[in-house]
Amino acid sequence: MAKTRPQDRSRRSKKGVKNGESKRTKASPDTLLVQAAALLQTSQPEEALSLARRALGLLQPTSEPALAALPALNLLGEINVELGDPDTAREVFLAAVKLDEEGINDGAEKFLWLAQLCEEGGAESVKWFEKGVNVLKREIGELEGKLKKPEITEALDEKKFKLANALCGIVEVFMTDLSWEQDAEARCEAAVTEALLVAPNNPESLQTLASIRISQLRVDDAKAALSRSMSLWKELDPDDPKVPDFSTRISLSRLLMEAEMEDDAIEVLERLVEENDGSVEAWYLGGWCLHLLGEKQKTAEQTEAAKSLLKASRYWLENSLKLYTMLEYEDERLREHAEEIVKRLNDSLGPSTGEEEEQLEDTDGGEDEEMKGT
């Protein structure tokens, strides 16, 4: 292609700027928000932030709060969560609440986010969850009163899953911050029962039930709930929307280990590492799980199987510690526990060798049958 003469390039540049300014000015808030949401979905929160701010400026051009700004405020809140700025996210969601205190115009999302972001936790968190629950119940009732078109059914199912997850959020608060409350156990039972009635095929509801049963020392019931939860998605493609998100499956692996279902736990963790090999927690939990499996094999006097599992454990834990340093991770207890196990393994197995690491890498971190203990 022939080079363009400088004067032509300059002329076109000025024209482009003019057109660009025109497009920037004429871009509708709806278009900007759609583009920002798409960027957020593709893990580009910085770019999404710029567009969402422009949309907010158009929808709320002065300092006077405007109801029309709700979509931009909610999206800005989610973007700031993704950017790791919970303080700004909380501030934005609270601004949205002032505009729509009952969630009539923009639904339950801001309340559910505030339940997770509120600094007080405890009763304050439950308050926000309950506001979100009430909005979702109202919306579900409205949808159930409409003709059962495919799009209505899909929206209804989505609302029910959100409602179930919000109820599970309430359970989590009562099992942690409010565990000392006299009615904590009763509140947990009521919320998880309602969650299972609303969405019986929601993996998170079943995980929450398992967590309650573990705390009650009803381990067999917990195992049944966890097996049912896994069966709902483990054969699905990783991109299937029915597969729980990464953090939910991290929690699942912890529950499986508590219930002494280590084989299932390592299956979940291997899948997580395949999806994201930069997760410190996934590598750490995998190493801890393999260590537990190895100790079980030692007890059963399966020496060679135990040795393979323990070598795999060390490999996973060393990976978690490398990532910990590289990513400047901040969970000191995780690091200390991982280092403690690695030290014990080095004492019993001898120092790790490069050859061992290559063998483990060839089997994707110990995914062969021997390392799974099968």
pLDDT at 361: 64
Domain range holding 356? 295-374
CB 326 within 8 A of CB 283: no
d(CA 227, CA 237): 18
For residue 137, being part of any structural domain is answered with yes
Domain with 137 in it: what CATH number?
A: 1.25.40.10
pLDDT at 303: 85
Of 152, 66, 149, 79, whose CA–CA distance to 109 is shortest?
79
Can you give the pTM of this predicted structure? 0.84
Q: What is the dihedral of CA 268, 274, 275, 276, to 10 degrees?
A: 100
- What are the residues whose beta carbons fall under 8 Å from the beta carbon of 165, sequence distance 6 or more? 195, 202, 204, 205
For residue 360, being part of any structural domain is answered with yes
d(CA 174, CA 168): 10
Domains: count for the chain: 2
Q: Give the residue from 103, 119, 147 where a domain finishes.
A: 147
Of 305, 312, 300, 231, whose CA–CA distance to 270 is shortest?
312
Which tens digit of pLDDT belongs to each residue from 98-154? 999 999 999 999 999 999 999 999 999 999 999 999 999 999 999 988 877 778 888
Q: Give the residue from 147, 172, 200 where a domain finishes.
A: 147
For residue 90, being part of any structural domain is answered with yes
Q: Give the residue from 118, 147, 176 where a domain finishes.
A: 147
Which tens digit of pLDDT belongs to each residue from 25-44? 568 999 999 999 999 999 89
For residue 363, being part of any structural domain is answered with yes
pLDDT at 299: 86
For residue 222, being part of any structural domain is answered with no
Of 351, 255, 347, 334, whose CA–CA distance to 287 is shortest?
334
